[in-house]
Amino acid sequence: MFFQFNENETLPGALSCYHKYTSNDLLYSTSPIDNTLLARVSCINAEQYEKFVQIAQENFLKWRNIPAPQRGIFVKRFGQEVQNKKGELAQLITLEMGKPIRESLGEVQEIIDICDFAVGLSRQLYGLTIQSERPEHKMIENWHPLGLVGIITAFNFPMAVWAWNSTISWVCGNVNIWKPSEKTPLCALALHKIVSNLVREMNLPDISFVFTGDYKIGEQLSLDKRIQLISATGSTRMGRQVARNVASRLGKYLLELGGNNAIIITESADFNLVIPSVVFGAIGTAGQRCTSTRRLIIQESIYERVKEALVHAYKQVKIGDPNDEQYHYGPLIDENAVILYEKSIQSAVFHGGKLLYGGKRIESSELKSKNYVLPTLIEVEKDNPIVQEETFAPILYLLKYKTIQEAIEINNQVAQGLSSAIMTLNLRESELFTSQNGSDCGIANINIGTSGAEIGGAFGGEKDTGGGRESGSDSWKNYMRRQTTTINYGINLPLAQGIKFEI
For Cα atoms 67, 68, 72, give the angle at the middle one, nearest 5 degrees.
120
SS3 199: helix
Q: What is the dihedral of CA 299, 305, 310, 312, to 10 degrees?
A: 180
Contact 33, 321 (CB under 8 A): yes
> Which of 410, 412, 394 has the alpha carbon at shortest distance from 402?
410
End-to-end CA distance of the chain: 75
DSSP 425: S
Beta bridge pairs of residue 262: 295, 420
SS3 305: helix
201-223 as b/e: b if 16+ CB within 10 A: eeebebbbbbbbbeeebbbbbbb
| CA pair distance 466, 469, nearest whole angstrom | 9
SS3 236: helix
Q: Which of 81, 96, 182, 256 is catalytic?
A: 256
For Cα atoms 257, 260, 262, give the angle at the middle one, nearest 5 degrees.
135
> Which of 113, 172, 112, 180 has the alpha carbon at shortest distance from 151?
180
Q: Does the annotation count 256 as an active-site position?
A: yes
Q: Side chain identity at 298, as an amino acid letter?
A: I
Report how far Cα 306 is from the mean position of its chain's Cα atoms: 30
351-360 as b/e: b if 16+ CB within 10 A: eebeebbbbe
Among all residues, which ones are annotated catalytic? 256
